[in-house]
Amino acid sequence: MSDPLFGAMRQSIIDGAPDTATELAHQALANGIDPLEAVNQGFAAGIKFAGDQFGCGEMFLPDLLASAEAMKAAIKILEPEMLKRGSEREALGKIVLGTARGDIHDIGKNLVATILSASGFQIFDLGTSVTPEQFVAKAKEVDADIVGVSALLTTTMAGQKAVIEALDRNGLRPRAKAIIGGAAVTAKWAAEIGADGFSRNAIDALELAKNLMGKVMNEVRSKGIAEA
């Protein structure tokens, strides 16, 4: 089904206009549009476009954040109805995020959280200076698919290694994937500490998370087949 409202919804996200997005969400409900459809065909298309535009340098961080905020505003209106209909948006995956122990720089981590959340991931944000134990506890609690550790400083990057080791020690990997990010993080470092992936910015992180979820699904499937 294609509704003329979908185009406006997409645009409200691209414009980063939370008020318009809210209004359109209300309108969709009033018109009896399936809220899940409104998200998938309308608003989410806007986030996808914004992400692509950011990727090719046409949109910038403040624009991207505004788009994410508009997305959040729309979801907030549609969510109760989705719950009511039992058609809540299936999360793409569950991600535990935080900055490495001793690191209080969270701009990058917050951006990743915002973009992933707006794109349909369920985010458990542990904040800044998170210990390996806290990462492990949360990952266990929510049965996380992905654990993301951000570090800005070369001195706190060691904390990323500590988290990965803790995840391994507690048997959370390979079920959960560990990803890292931050200004000083390189592919070499990621390989060295055995991370499942790293990204340079929030949009790359989205791609990475989606790819890893594909992997998780495949592993779950093949495990299922093996057990059967």
Partner 1 sequence: MRPRIQLLSPEVIGRILREAFELLMDPGVRVGSAPVVELLRSAGVEVAAGVADNDGVARIPERLVQQCLASAPRDFYLYNRQGEKAVHYGGDDVHFDPGSCCVQMLDPETLEARPSETRDLVRIVQVTETLPQFAAQSTAVVCSDACGDSRAASAIGDLYRLFVVLQHSDKPVVTGSFSAAGLQGMIDLLAADSGSPDKLRQQPRAVFDVCPSPPLNWSEFGSRNLLDLARAGVPAQIVSMPLAGGTAPVTLAGSVTQHAAEVLAGITLHQLAGPGSPVVWGGAPAIFDMRTGGAPMGAVETAMLNMACAEVGKRLGLPTHGYLVATDSKLVDAQAGAESARSAMLGALAGINMISGAGMLESLACFSVEKLVIDAESIASAYRLARGIEVRGDEVRGDEVPSEKARGEKVPRETLATAMFAQTGLSGEFLKLKETRALFRQEQHLPSPVIDRSARGSEPASDVFTRARIRVDELVSKYRKPTLSEDVLRKFQAIVDREADRAGVVGTETGKNVGAATGTTLGALGG
Contact pick of 44, 96, 100, 111 for partner 1 (by CB under 8 A): 111
CB 124 within 8 A of CB 153: no
How far apart (Å, rounded) are the C-alpha atoms in residues 148 and 97?
5
Q: How far is the CB of 136 from partner 1 (least distance, A)?
A: 28
Q: Counting contacts by CB under 8 A, is residue 16 touching partner 1?
A: yes
Rule CB under 8 A: which of 62-81 touch partner 1? Answer: 62-63, 65-66, 69
How far apart (Å, rounded) are the C-alpha atoms in residues 52 and 129?
31
Q: How far is the CB of 37 from partner 1 (least distance, A)?
A: 23
Q: Counting contacts by CB under 8 A, is residue 61 touching partner 1?
A: yes
Alpha-carbon distances, residue 53 vs 13, 97, 188 (angstroms): 13, 25, 28
Of 30-38, 138-146, 179-187, 210-218, the segment contacting partner 1 by CB under 8 A is: 179-187
Show the tokens assigned to 67. 């788009």
Q: Counting contacts by CB under 8 A, is residue 27 touching partner 1?
A: no
Q: How far is the CB of 186 from partner 1 (least distance, A)?
A: 5
Alpha-carbon distances, residue 59 vs 14, 108, 227 (angstroms): 10, 17, 47
Q: Counting contacts by CB under 8 A, is residue 186 touching partner 1?
A: yes
Sheet containing strand 122-125, strands side by side:
122-125, 94-99, 146-150, 177-181, 197-199
Task: Report the residue number, 69 or 88, with the smaller CB distance to partner 1.
Answer: 69
* Contacting positions for partner 1 (CB under 8 A): 12, 15-20, 57, 60-63, 65-66, 69, 107, 110-111, 183, 185-187, 200-201
